[in-house]
Amino acid sequence: MTTPKKSTYNISRYLLHRLKEAGIHHIFGVPGDYTLDFLDEVLASPLKWVGNCNELNAGYAADGYARMKGAGAAAVTYGVGGLSILNAVAGAYAERVPLIVISGAPPSHRRDTGAMVHHLIADYYVQLEIFKKVTVDATILTSADSAPDEIDRVITNALIHKLPVYIELPVDMALLSCRPPHTISRALHRTSDKDSLEECVEDAARLLDAALNPVVLAGVELLRFGLGTAALNLVETLEIPFSTMLSSKCVLPELHPQFIGIYQGNWSREAVKHQVESSDCLLSLGVWMTDFDTGLFSMNFDNRRVIDVGDGDVRIGNHYYHGVQLGDFISALSRKAKTRAYLTSHPHETRRLKDRFIPQNGQILTAPRLYECVNSFLDDHTVLLAEPGDAFCAAPDFHIEEAENFIVQAYYTSIGFCTPASLGVAMARPKKRPVILTGDGAFQMTAQEMSTLIRHGSNAVIILINNDGYLIERMLHEDGLYNDIQMWNYASLPEAFGGKDKVIGILANTEDELAQAFATAAAEKNKLIFIEARLPNRDCSEGLLRLGKAIRQSNPKK
Amino acid sequence: MTTPKKSTYNISRYLLHRLKEAGIHHIFGVPGDYTLDFLDEVLASPLKWVGNCNELNAGYAADGYARMKGAGAAAVTYGVGGLSILNAVAGAYAERVPLIVISGAPPSHRRDTGAMVHHLIADYYVQLEIFKKVTVDATILTSADSAPDEIDRVITNALIHKLPVYIELPVDMALLSCRPPHTISRALHRTSDKDSLEECVEDAARLLDAALNPVVLAGVELLRFGLGTAALNLVETLEIPFSTMLSSKCVLPELHPQFIGIYQGNWSREAVKHQVESSDCLLSLGVWMTDFDTGLFSMNFDNRRVIDVGDGDVRIGNHYYHGVQLGDFISALSRKAKTRAYLTSHPHETRRLKDRFIPQNGQILTAPRLYECVNSFLDDHTVLLAEPGDAFCAAPDFHIEEAENFIVQAYYTSIGFCTPASLGVAMARPKKRPVILTGDGAFQMTAQEMSTLIRHGSNAVIILINNDGYLIERMLHEDGLYNDIQMWNYASLPEAFGGKDKVIGILANTEDELAQAFATAAAEKNKLIFIEARLPNRDCSEGLLRLGKAIRQSNPKK
């Protein structure tokens, strides 16, 4: 294959140009022989290659990156790579994260003959067809003439829809010369239907203005579409109290005087549940009614009093407006509805902010105390990643002020996500410190990616909640030995992963050991801190206890 | 949910009954809330649950198990579990391994409303549709009436076609009462068309009988369809010399006087290549013309002199017979063709068997010497798993006598396969000792599954070839920093994975250290032996050097 002159474009360089334009400066992945020509171009480009231990981890890392930067990319090889990253891509699809997957592929002339090349699944289109099911757009680049347009369309769709996309780059296409990228002035958002928008906003404003105790429920799409500021402007302009959800935690500031707390149906704290559900006009912005966000569908709303805005549609009571985009709706409503005196809508419960954690010496650590201590450690320079499990049950009670300082997969809930995702956070926000709160079962899934954090000198703080198995399953179902896992000697992991001088590993059995561990973390800002917090058997957060209660309420037979 | 009486069947018990009938005594997997009712039934059954660190590893383990026992099973939860195991299932599909995947799923009433439950990808059929692409049959169990027939059909298809299948078991179906399993007398093989078979075998026998130097090329389907004994009877009855391939290595005994050696196109040793390609009648039995098995499609056959039998079809010269099954063809041909004197067809090269490895004290270890030493360690009680990479390039030169003592993914080549697959081998053949030969890059992919080996007291021997990165890519493409990986301190892993008293970890830099390591392995038959063999940069097997040469021949520009 002839390498084109540096001044000209080939398909790989074209693609890299568009990725950079989308704000992507790091590509995660694992090399394979079908991708090496492309990876040579990555190394020669301004983008940085971040190799991972395996492809699933690369996908999680790119997802974490995309949540911070607005888009992320991962490059893998065909078959063994493509299908290994798939679960991360499906997670990005479910959670609306624009993750761009680039997969190498066998050369086109092999495809034409159907040759049995390594990494082939069944035929040369299976991988594309599978990815079509978990992406908003997918393509195989088959010629230098069509590749630029294909790349432009696919990446644009990722950015507009905030969904993953798939680009298959056969090895013999990677270095083919192609046209340079034109300047494209693309509208990266969907536009609203003007008449629908106008009527809809009038309708909503009328209801809101007439309401005595309206509440805004700020949902996850505000995060995904970057509408936090617009929504803040709305609630402040109209002076309406607001609640967030686990999936949208801290999309609006938690110290804000209008903040009620986290709404989770029957999983909520009682005061929050009451105030949200008794509202006579609930303005629901970009909310997904997922099982965890609704306390297993235990939300109790009077639909006639709900204005539900999201994903292009608005429902007011029992009628619908189509083609109304969330951002447009928020802006228009901010101008249209009346400002009200923020009087009666104070939360009924004193909000729990941060207390300084004062350890009792020698006191055996409990889950609630562990989480108090974690909460007290978090600040505006940390990004908390809470693993599905007890960690994400505890997380709603933490005080986090900035939207981008909290990451959770509250809907797709793929355990093992957080450790690799923190690598993406570390690359995206080098000045922030990732804090990973993970259970032992989740950690074991993707543990090796800690070695990549070490490799890149990350100063992440990994808090491993060691409760000897799959705790959440123990709490929500009769226990069985399938919840047992091998007890690792976690303290040896930093050394094993080559982190002897770069990691401080700390075992905490007691409150003072834990407090000391976080003091060390605060002092050692340039090292990776690995805290193993051992908890008594079946000890868990108040949140998980509430979840168990909510489940029993929803299914009394369990 | 009401638990039925122990004496009655429910869908889970029915399924478990059929699995056991198929020779499956262990189920691999990871629990999740959608599978717990099923897993309770597993625990109450004669089958043994083997939990894994993650689902991909569970899939590899079940694949390794299926290669030994004729079928394997893995149970995972929905979405996050199903899509994480997918790559292992695709590998089983490509390589024809009957792997039965059981996936939990959200309850049916949630599917009916399309509710946004955790682990949901996009809709409730996406996972089924994806699995349909990498299985021979797939189903969602939707009622107690239909479930038994569905289960029977799907499992039968796995066993007939030697391909993976998918059974989705919604959580509310798991404990529903159903009819007991009937005795089924199913023909677990496809039948041949009688007339086609007769004419085809006559045709083949005529060609064979007239040939001066016929050769049998024994391919991978003989392994997958359990036809090794039949094929051995054929070559012995007719007295025709035979060659095997990397994918079918030792399907026929390597000490056999008619054994020529391993054929790999231009990747072969010269003498083997010459004898196979100069044959005036090549009888190809169940061969897949994959890139690695043919030295990147460098086989040089005169198609007019080839009888190609496989997957229901026979090609003789340029005409085809359909509906002729491999097993039937072999039996009929054994009776039809004439016995010949085995005279001129001796292999031209002296076969390389085992030499005792005599270390030179203090001599820095090299790749060829490492592989000599491994070869000398293997015996009829070991099962070698050779990872794609330098390990599977070196493996053809090892002497292995029994078909089931060697496992390789020579076609799909998913690195990271061997460590988890060895867990399946350990469960399937407790009296044998798995020997894993893996590179460091491959090992890091799935390293945590070593902890499951430890948990179950496995006496596996893991030989980690530490050459600091993705060696095969370094050798076959210009090197780039994407081939670098984090240097782990592998010696700390046994301790980290909780194996302090169950594992002996040994670092070998020199020949005598390596010899001592294997002596320890031989003496300590009840412990897991973890040998890290450090090799000089870019040192590799003779096989990999030959592969590089074959690639350059096939693509002179590279």
pLDDT level of residue A245 (50, 70, 90 thresholds) = very high
Q: Across the A/B interface, how many CB contacts are shorter than 8 Å?
A: 248
Q: How far apart are CA B558 and CA B556, in angstroms?
A: 6
Give the list of residues 6+ apart from residue B343 with CB closer than 8 angstroms, or none.
Answer: none
Q: Which two tokens stand for residue B367?
A: 């790749």
Determine whether the interchain pair A122/B500 forms a contact, defined as Cβ–Cβ distance below 8 Å: no
pLDDT level of residue A556 (50, 70, 90 thresholds) = low
Give the list of residues 6+ apart from residue A556 with CB closer than 8 angstroms, or none.
Answer: none
The residue among A39, A18, A36, A17 whose CA lies nearest residue A28 is: A39
Q: Which residues of B touch A93 (CB under 8 A)?
A: 121-122
pLDDT level of residue B137 (50, 70, 90 thresholds) = very high
Q: Could you give the count of Cα atoms lying within 13 Å of B60 in the half-sphere of its Cβ?
A: 34
Determine whether the interchain pair B482/A43 forms a contact, defined as Cβ–Cβ distance below 8 Å: yes
pLDDT tens for each residue of B320-341: 999 999 999 999 999 999 988 7
Stretch (H or E) spanning B512: helix B511-523
Q: How many residues does chain B have?
A: 558
Tell me the H-state helices in B239-345: 270-277, 326-336
Q: Which two tokens stand for residue B468?
A: 């600091």
CB atoms within 10 A of CB B511: 22
Look at residue B215 in the predicted model and tell me its pLDDT: 96
The residue among B298, B300, B293 whose CA lies nearest residue B310 is: B293
Ranges A28-32, A62-66, B344-348: which has the least confidence: B344-348
B45 touches chain A (CB under 8 A): no
Nearest chain B residue (CA) to A486: B455
The residue among A128, A112, A42 whose CA lies nearest residue A78 is: A128
Q: How far apart are CA B374 and CA B184, in angstroms?
A: 45
- The one-letter amino acid at A352: R
- E strand map for B106-161: 137-140
Give the list of residues 6+ apart from residue A433 with CB closer than 8 angstroms, or none.
Answer: A381, A382, A383, A459, A460, A461, A525
Give the list of residues 6+ apart from residue A346 with CB closer than 8 angstroms, or none.
Answer: A241
**A528-534/A503-508 β-pairing:** parallel
Determine whether the interchain pair A496/B484 forms a contact, defined as Cβ–Cβ distance below 8 Å: no
ipTM over 0.85? The verdict is yes
Q: Which residues of B touch A486 (CB under 8 A)?
A: 53, 451-452, 454-455, 497-498
- Backbone phi and psi for residue A215, each to the nearest 5 degrees, phi listed first: -135, 140
Q: Which residues of B touch A448 (CB under 8 A)?
A: 444-445, 447-448
Q: Which residues of A touch B134 (CB under 8 A)?
A: 83, 121-122, 126
The residue among A77, A133, A126 whose CA lies nearest residue A101 is: A77
Q: Which two tokens stand for residue B143?
A: 């009622």
Give the list of residues 6+ apart from residue B319 with CB closer than 8 angstroms, or none.
Answer: none
The closest CB to that of B94, out of A39, A121, A129, belongs to A121
CB neighbour class for B545 (10 Å; exposed up to 12, middle 13-18, buried from 19):
middle
Look at residue A476 in the predicted model and tell me its pLDDT: 87
Q: How far apart are CA A529 and CA A503, in angstroms?
A: 6
Determine whether the interchain pair A444/B451 forms a contact, defined as Cβ–Cβ distance below 8 Å: yes
Nearest chain A residue (CA) to B119: A412
The residue among A486, A307, A290 whose CA lies nearest residue A392 is: A290
Look at residue A549 in the predicted model and tell me its pLDDT: 87
The closest CB to that of B496, out of A51, A290, A496, belongs to A496
B47 touches chain A (CB under 8 A): no
Give the list of residues 6+ apart from residue A269 with CB closer than 8 angstroms, or none.
Answer: A261, A262, A349, A546
A536 touches chain B (CB under 8 A): no
Ranges A281-295, A350-364, B92-106, B276-290: which has the least confidence: A350-364
Angle A29-A32-A35 from CA coordinates, rounded to 5°: 80
Q: Which residues of B touch A411 (CB under 8 A)?
A: 116, 118, 120
User: Do the beta carbons of residue A521 and residue A377 sit within 8 Å?
Assistant: yes
Q: How far apart are CA B243 and CA A99, in angstroms?
A: 47
Tell me, letter by letter, the H, E, C secondary structure of B428-479.
HCCCCEEEEEEEHHHHHHCCCHHHHHHHCCCCCEEEEEECCCCHHHHHHCCC
Q: What is the phi-psi region of residue A254: left when phi exceeds 0, alpha when psi lies from -120 to 50, beta otherwise? A: alpha
A245 touches chain B (CB under 8 A): no
- E strand map for B45-93: 48-51, 72-76
The residue among A349, A466, A326 whose CA lies nearest residue A397 is: A349
Q: How far apart are CA A181 and CA B380, in angstroms?
A: 61
The closest CB to that of B80, out of A414, A455, A497, belongs to A414
The closest CB to that of A116, out of B116, B289, B496, belongs to B289
Nearest chain B residue (CA) to A92: B121
pLDDT tens for each residue of B389-432: 999 999 999 999 999 999 999 999 999 999 999 999 999 999 99
Q: Which residues of A touch B1 (CB under 8 A)?
A: 557-558
DSSP letter string, A107-169: -HHHHHHT-B-TT--SSTTHHHHHHHTTSSEEEE---TTTHHHHHHHHHHHHHHHT--EEEEE
B297 touches chain A (CB under 8 A): yes
Q: How far apart are CA A87 and CA B87, in angstroms?
A: 10
Determine whether the interchain pair A496/B477 forms a contact, defined as Cβ–Cβ distance below 8 Å: no
Summarize the confidence of residues B508-527 as an average pLDDT: 97
Determine whether the interchain pair A448/B444 forms a contact, defined as Cβ–Cβ distance below 8 Å: yes
Core vs surface per residue B344-380: b (16+ CB within 10 A) or e: ebebeeeeeeeeebebeeeeebebbbbbbbbbbbbee
Asked if pLDDT for residue B344 goes beyond 90, the answer is no
pTM reported for the whole predicted model? 0.96
pLDDT tens for each residue of B216-274: 999 999 999 999 999 999 999 999 999 999 999 999 999 999 999 999 999 999 999 99
pLDDT level of residue B343 (50, 70, 90 thresholds) = low
- How many Å lie between the alpha carbon of B290 and the closest alpha carbon of chain A? 5
Look at residue A130 in the predicted model and tell me its pLDDT: 98
Q: What is the DSSP letter of B388?
A: T
User: Do the beta carbons of residue B137 and residue B109 sit within 8 Å?
Assistant: no
pLDDT level of residue A456 (50, 70, 90 thresholds) = very high
Tokens 């066998």, residue located: A106
Asked if pLDDT for residue B201 goes beyond 80, the answer is yes
- How many Å lie between the alpha carbon of A80 and the closest alpha carbon of chain B? 5
Ranges A273-287, A328-342, B192-206: which has the least confidence: A328-342
User: Do the beta carbons of residue A321 and residue A346 sit within 8 Å?
Assistant: no
- The one-letter amino acid at B71: A
Look at residue B558 in the predicted model and tell me its pLDDT: 45
Determine whether the interchain pair A117/B291 forms a contact, defined as Cβ–Cβ distance below 8 Å: yes
Asked if pLDDT for residue A7 goes beyond 60, the answer is no
Stretch (H or E) spanning A531: strand A528-534
Nearest chain A residue (CA) to B57: A445
Q: Which of B49, B116, B464, B547 to probe the A interface (max A CBs under 10 A)?
A: B116
B97 touches chain A (CB under 8 A): no
Q: How far apart are CA A461 and CA A517, in angstroms?
A: 10
Q: How far apart are CA B157 and CA B551, in angstroms?
A: 38
Look at residue B348 in the predicted model and tell me its pLDDT: 44
Q: How far apart are CA A214 and CA A200, in angstroms?
A: 17
A132 touches chain B (CB under 8 A): no
Summarize the confidence of residues B5-21 as an average pLDDT: 89
Look at residue A351 in the predicted model and tell me its pLDDT: 53
Tell me the H-state helices in B165-218: 194-210
Q: Which residues of B touch A115 (CB under 8 A)?
A: 289, 291, 297
Determine whether the interchain pair B133/A122 forms a contact, defined as Cβ–Cβ distance below 8 Å: yes
The residue among A427, A419, A433 whose CA lies nearest residue A378 is: A433
Determine whether the interchain pair A54/B416 forms a contact, defined as Cβ–Cβ distance below 8 Å: yes
